[in-house]
Amino acid sequence: MASGTVTSSEYISHHLTNLTFGNHPEAGWKLAESAGEAAAMGFWAINVDTMLWSVGLGVFFLWFFGKVAKTATAGVPGSTQNFIETIIEFVDDNVKSIFHYKSPVIAPLALTIFVWVFLMNAMDLVPVDWLPYIAGQMGIEFMKVVPTTDVNATGGMALSVFALIVYYSIKQKGVNGFFKELAFQPLPKIFMPFNLFLEIVGLIAKPVSLALRLFGNMYAGEMIFILIALLPFWIQWLLSVPWAIFHILIITLQAFIFMVLTIVYLAMAHDDH
C-alpha cells in the first residue's frame, strides 16, 4: 500500500503503532492519534488492538478445544478430535519428558501457551494490509493484528510464568530453601552477595528472555513483511511467498520454544539443588 501520499517511513511507523487508549497528560482519556501521543500516555494506557486480537484468539482456542473436549469420546475419534488429540499428546509428551513432578497445572499451561502463542503468531500470515485497511475504512486509525509483535503481550505471559516460577520455588523449597538456592551457590557461603547478584540476574533473565525472544522474532518477521509490502505490487509475491512459508516454521517454532522453556523453568523451580 505504498501510495503516493504516504512516505515509506510513515507507512512503516503507522504499521508498527498500536491502537492505544490511555490517559494523555494534556488531552485526558482518549485513543492516541499518533505514536508520539501513545508514548506520552506512559504506563496508564492500553493497547486495544493487542488486547482484542489476543483475547479473541484465546477465546477461539478455548471455544474450539472446549467444544471437542465436551464431546470427547474414548471410542473412535472424529477427525476434529483426532486433530486436537494430536496436539494434546504432543504437548503432554513434551511435559512428561521434561517435567517429572505431579502437577495439574503445568500441562494445561503448556497447552495454552503453545496454542495461544501459535494462533497469535499465525496472524502474521494474514497479509499486512488487509486488516489495518478494513479497520481504516471503519475509522480506526491504527491496527496491529499480531499481538506477539507487542512486547506487552509476550511480557504479560512471561510475567505470569515468572510469578509461577517464584510461587513453585517457594512452595517446593520454602522461603528459606529458595533463598538458599539464590544465595549459597554456585560459590561458597562467604560470597553470598556475589551469589545473590548472580542468581537474581539469572532469575530475572528467564522472563525477560522469554518475552523478548518471542517479541523480537515476531517483530522482525512482521517488519520484513512490511518492507516487502513497500515493493511494487507485482514483485511482492516473489519475496513474501518464500518469507511466509519460512514464517510458518518460525511461528510454530517460537510457540514451541516458549512452551518448552516454560516447562523447563517450572521444572527447575521444582528441582531441589
Partner 1 sequence: MNINLTIIGQAIAFFFFVVFCMKYVWPPITGALAERKKKIAEGLDAADRATRDLHLAQEKATANMRESKLEAAAIIEQANKRASQIVDEAKEQARAEADRVKVAAQAEIEQDVNRAKEALRSQVAALVVAGAEKILETSIDEKAHAQLLNKLATEL
The yes-or-no answer on residue 213 being catalytic is: yes
Element (H, E) at 21: strand 20-24
Q: Helix (H, G, I), strand (E, B), or coil: what is residue 165?
A: helix
Burial of residue 82 (CB within 10 Å: 0-12, 13-18, 19+) is exposed
Q: Does 94 bind partner 1 (CB under 8 A)?
A: no
Q: Does 55 bind partner 1 (CB under 8 A)?
A: yes
Q: What is d(CA 211, CA 158) in angstroms, rounded to the nearest whole number?
A: 5
In b/e form, how buried is each residue of 25-60, taking b as 16+ CB within 10 angstroms?
eeeeeebbeeeebbebbeeebebbbbbebbeebbee
- And the C-alpha cell for 72? 470427547
User: Under rule CB under 8 A, which residues in 114-133 are in contact with partner 1?
Assistant: 116
User: Under rule CB under 8 A, which residues in 7-26 are in contact with partner 1?
Assistant: 16, 18, 20, 22
Among 123, 145, 151, 251, binds partner 1 (CB under 8 A): 151
User: For partner 1, which is the closer residue by CB, 43 or 233?
Assistant: 43
Q: Does 258 bind partner 1 (CB under 8 A)?
A: no
Q: How far is the CB of 180 from partner 1 (least distance, A)?
A: 29
Q: Name, in order, each residue with C-beta under 8 angstroms of 8's C-beta and a sequence gap of 6 or more.
A: 2, 230
How many residues touch partner 1 under the rule CB under 8 A: the total is 54
Q: Does 34 bind partner 1 (CB under 8 A)?
A: no
Binding residues vs partner 1 (CB under 8 A): 16, 18, 20, 22, 38-39, 41-47, 50-51, 54-55, 58, 61-62, 65-66, 68-70, 72-75, 77, 81, 84-85, 88-89, 92, 104-105, 107-109, 111-112, 116, 147, 150-153, 155-157, 159-160
Residues annotated as catalytic (active site), given as ranges: 209, 213, 217
